[in-house]
Every structure is written in C-alpha cells, then in structure tokens.
A = this chain, B = another copy of it.
C-alpha cells in the first residue's frame, strides 16, 4: 500500500487486524459511551446557545470521520464544554452581523475544520506548543467557572446572558427577584443528585454487593436517570405551564445536510475565534489522546490528529453540528470500557443516530434546568486552583501567566483570556532569554576547570577577561552581551584579552554574529584582542560561512584551558573569590 495513503488514512492500519474480540470490546464501550453522551450532547448544545439536537448531530458525523482519519484508538470526539463556551462567545458576536445563530455556528465549525486540516497538511502542529501548561490550566479553570456561572440562569429559571463573569453576575443579580421556584427545585435537586452520583453512588452500590463493573456503568448512567426522572416530573405535574423551561419539540431525524453561511463579513469576524477554538480544541484533544495512548505504548501522530479533528469539524459543519474536539471525560470512559479501535466511536455514532431518530419525542418535557445541572457538575471538575499554588512555588513567571489567564478570561472573556495568556507567557520567555546568565570565570587551582569567580576561589589574570555565556546568542540577547562587555571594559583599563567561552551556546544567529563582529572591531580600537573557546561543531560550521573568523583579532581555542595557558602569564595571576 502506498505510504502517503496510509499516513493520511490510519484506518487502513488498524482495519486490517479487526476481529471478533476487538469487535465485542468496541461494542461494549460504545453502549456505555452512548448512554453517557445523550444527555451531555444535549446539554453542551444548550451551553453553546444552540437547539439541543445540534449536540447530537455534532456527535455523529464527526465521530465517524475521526474514526477514519484519527490516530488515537480511544479518543471520543464531539461537543465539549470549553469549546461550546467559546462557540457561544464567538457566535454571539457574529450574530450582530445579521446572520442566523445556527448558520454562524456551522461556519465556525467549517473555518475551524479548515484551519486544522491546513495545519495538519502543512505539518504545523507544533504551533499548539506555544500554549504553555500554566496558560492551559488557567484557561480551563476560568472556563469552568464561566460555564458553571452561565448555567445558573437555567437553574434559577431566569434569563441572564453575558460572556464575562461580571456581566453574568450582574445579570443574575438584576433578575434575582424573578426566580422560578419550580425550576429552582428541579435544578437544585438535579445538581445535588448528580454530585451525589459522582461522590457517593458507586461506593454505595459496591456496599450493596454489586460487582465493580456494573456499579461503574450505573454511575455513568446517573445523568440519564436524572433526565428520566425530571422529565417525568414535568410531564406528570404540568410544570412546563408553571414556568419551567423545557427542551420542547426536537426534530426526529438523522443529521440533516446543512450548508454553512459563507458571508465574507462573517468569516472575518469568526476567523480569530475559529483559530483559538482550533488550537484549544487540538491541545485538549491531543493531551487526552497521548495520555491514553501512552498507557498502551501506542503512538499518536500530532499532525495526523490535526487532520482527524479537521475532518470531524468539517463534517460537523455540513451535518447541523458545531465545533467539536476530543473530550477528556468521554475518552477516558471509552478507554476504561475497553474500546480497542476507533470502530468503538463508529458504533457510538450509530447509537446516537438511533437516539436522534427514536428518542427525541421523549425529551419534549426535559427541563433545561436538568441539562444545566449536568453541565455544572461536569465542569466543576475542571476548576482547579492548585495550579496557582504549584506555579507560585516553582516560578513567579509561570505564576504570572496563570493568574493573568484566569483573570482576563473571567473579566474579558475566553478569547481575550487565551490571547493574553499566550502573549504573556511568550513575552516572559523572551524576556528571560534576552538577559542570559553571563559568568566571569577563572581557573580552579590545580585543575583545568574554569568556574564563576563569584562562587569559587579561582585564579584570574588582570589582563585576561574570560566570560562564559549560558545561552544561545540571538538577536534579543546580542545587545545585552555588547552592553555587558563594553560596561565591563569601561570599568577596567588593564584588560588586553577577552575570551568568550562558548560551551553553552547552541546557536549564533545573524544579529549575534554582527554583534560579535562589532565587538571585535570595538575591542580592536581599544587595543584588546577577542578570542573564542569551546565553540560547538555546528556553531563553528556556521561561523565559517561568515567573515568573523578572518577578522577576529584573537584566536579560536579548542578549550578554555588552552586559551588560558596561551594568554595568561604566571607572574600576573592572582587568586580571587567570594
């Protein structure tokens, strides 16, 4: 089989070895995941501001497409909380442009899918690396808070929108008098029940003597139970007439063929949100995929993952969905339930399609408060402030990046939050590497080792200045070196030789090369020779393509010891140190 085809179609790899045992493992996993996904899909569509069926549709075609193109054997693709929140924020802006909400969500999925595919084909998956862990952790925590807060309106039975924490809290406060008691009872009850399902149900079932597996499946069915009970209550007591908002009529059909709106204005409004959703979705998805793959020593190809997720999103755009990605909770459930290949996903899709066709009339009376409760309980597990403590202990710069991401996300929204976090963490990194550690070194007596004169008792020669730079030389720190060296020389008139010890320099870029050339000229004007020592092979190869080595007033020494031995005179040496 031609390699390019196998690269782009991992299904050709695992499909050949498919047999009865993998089939039965996949089928079991699919049943469990389907039960879990039905209420979750409906709920996340609500969070995204879309009709509930959009959540089901977004779980069908995307799962099938990921099964063909993706490399993870356990990843479950579909609507997830954070991306749903980002969709609501993005589409909320775009609708001001006069395009329908659902159509704009399709366009967002198409844009996001197109970007992911492009990144995958160009093998640019590495750009996701620029989201640092602290930024992701801060963003997920803040998103969890925003999502939970956004659902309080459904629990309270009031209408209070907004995409930032102050907006949401303000709106809730303004409507505090209009709380609907029946809605609140259902919402609070469902929330309490679901928390108990998470915490206390499984131990209780085990104590009642159920086997581990069955207890696990029943726990996962907890949200379905909440849905069934509250739907029944509303229907039986006619609560929809008493102000309890219900899901209402949902079309009973397979995912429809839809065409995203392709208005230029809309596309330019949604381009940045789509890029952010793509990156965040990709990072979330690949983290999950790698975690699960590593447990079985399997391998994830990040660039092929981009193609898998891109195809899933394009699929969502044409089948009435909205942006999707690989979800953490569902993938872990899928993995734990024994899913052996992406076929488990395909079976899940079939289960959800069956639900979309047959079960939708049954959820007419499903209260939105129950769905909100499902979301709140799910996302509160995302909120984790310990990252702040850990980052603080380890590094102030990383702490600043987390804190800024959390505060900006809460205060100004998801897009501003991610952007601020990325900009700040890259800025801090650049800042740190623009001020490298430079050590003035001297000879440790009796050895051929050179150490920092501030930390060790060493021999120096007043006419020979030896500097070790602990960083590659590039444009952001080139001037630092120049400033440092000229400052050092302005203080000390005795120096006749400067030796740059290059053992920690992995690269010298063109700016740094020019700086070295300038330093060489300036030192020459002052009657000082510039030498290099311990230059690494690849750095030396590159320097040979420049004029520096010809113009150098001093020499290139293989080792710092050789430089010292040649330039320093025993009579001038003196011992210095802390």
Contacts and interface: CB of A to CB of B under 8 A. Distances in A.
Contacts of A509: 132, 395, 397-398, 429
Interface stretch (A166-174, A241-249, A313-321, A478-486): A478-486
Interface string A380-403: 000000000011011101100000
A43 to B, nearest CB: 30
A561 B213 CA distance: 49
B290 A482 contact: yes
A191 B222 CA distance: 87
Contacts of A490: 297-299
A275 to B, nearest CB: 15
Given A129-B477, A134-B511, A429-B475, A542 B295 contact: no
B476 A507 contact: no
Interface string A410-452: 0000000000000001100111111111000000000000000
A433 B477 CA distance: 14
B487 A299 contact: yes
Chain A interface size band reads: 35 or more
Q: Give the secondary structure class of A's interface.
A: helix
Contact of A526 (B134, B297, B474, B542): B297
A470 interface: yes
B475 A133 contact: yes
Contacts of A478: 129, 133
A470 B472 CA distance: 10
Nearest to A470: B506
B294 A394 contact: no
A525 interface: yes
A52 interface: no
Most buried by B among A393, A470, A480, A510: A510
A522 B130 contact: no
24 contacts: A126-B435, A129-B475, A130-B476, A132-B474, A132-B511, A133-B478, A290-B482, A291-B518, A293-B486, A294-B525, A295-B522, A298-B490, A299-B486, A299-B487, A299-B490, A390-B546, A394-B510, A394-B546, A398-B511, A425-B475, A426-B430, A432-B507, A436-B506, A471-B506
Given A129-B479, A130-B430, 15 more contacts: A129-B476, A129-B478, A131-B475, A132-B474, A132-B511, A133-B514, A290-B482, A291-B522, A297-B493, A299-B490, A393-B545, A393-B546, A394-B546, A395-B509, A395-B542
